């Protein structure tokens, strides 16, 4: 019974805040407002979270009495005042990934019965995360430098994690085994077990072919992760 009552009076403010967030995300913002938000966003987020929690915990009975129409009016007012309506004409020019996220959020919200805003937001966030990870994965670069006939240096730049693992492995010629191989990770960072496994796979392949492999430039976090779950010694310098 208590849970039902809590859900009842928590639903309205959360739905209104969710609708406000989606409305502001789908409408291009003015440049001045974007700069202002980027400068004060950390403090604004903290204040918003504390304010919402305080209202829910301390003013629950009063929040329950606020009509949904009033919350929608506030949402529309803020969205209109912060939006650049002329930017809607450039919707065709925005990245396709942004458009797909907006369409996913809208479609899931409208197709669920009753229209479930929470599921729409979750679907949009999930799709945005997938698209972002794929975009970041392509940033990683592996450059091969021939120091001599028997020594080769691989310079790795970017973020090594489960999505960029394939692009990382494609940068190595695992069929050619010079006498000495050096992997320079001073401009890279290993984020997860998949990244460790990819580096470990490279080391194993070269060592099985008779090469002496050294891994240099690992930062403290990456080195700690590699030593904890990696199967090979890093030969870190």
Tens of pLDDT along 136-151?
767 788 999 999 888 9
pTM: 0.51
pLDDT, residue 91, reads 66
Paired tokens of 164: 């960029």
Residue 40 confidence (pLDDT) above 60: no
The average pLDDT across 150-172 equals 89
Q: Which residue has the higher pLDDT, 24 or 195?
A: 195
Work out the pLDDT band at 87, boundaries 50, 70, 90: low
pLDDT, residue 76, reads 80
């Amino acid at each position: 019974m208590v849970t039902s009552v809590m859900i009842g009076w928590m639903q309205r403010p959360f739905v209104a805040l969710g609708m406000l967030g989606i409305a502001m995300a789908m409408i291009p913002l003015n440049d001045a407002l974007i700069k202002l938000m980027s400068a004060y966003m950390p403090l604004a987020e903290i204040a918003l979270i504390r304010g919402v929690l305080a209202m829910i915990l301390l003013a629950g009975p009063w929040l329950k009495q606020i009509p949904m129409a009033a919350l929608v009016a506030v949402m529309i007012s803020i969205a209109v005042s912060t939006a650049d309506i002329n930017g809607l004409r450039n919707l065709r020019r925005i990245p396709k990934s942004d458009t797909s996220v907006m369409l996913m959020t809208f479609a899931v919200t409208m197709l669920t019965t009753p229209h479930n805003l929470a599921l729409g937001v979750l679907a949009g966030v999930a799709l945005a995360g997938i698209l972002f990870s794929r975009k970041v994965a392509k940033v990683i670069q592996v450059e091969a430098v021939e120091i001599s006939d028997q020594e080769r240096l691989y310079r790795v730049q970017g973020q090594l994690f489960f999505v960029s693992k394939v692009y990382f492995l494609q940068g190595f010629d695992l069929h050619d085994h010079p006498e000495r191989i050096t992997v320079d990770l001073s401009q890279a960072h290993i984020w997860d077990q998949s990244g460790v496994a990819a580096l470990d796979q490279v080391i194993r392949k070269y060592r099985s072919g008779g090469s002496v492999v050294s891994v240099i430039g690992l930062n403290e976090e990456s080195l700690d992760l590699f030593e904890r779950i990696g199967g090979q010694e890093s030969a870190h310098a």
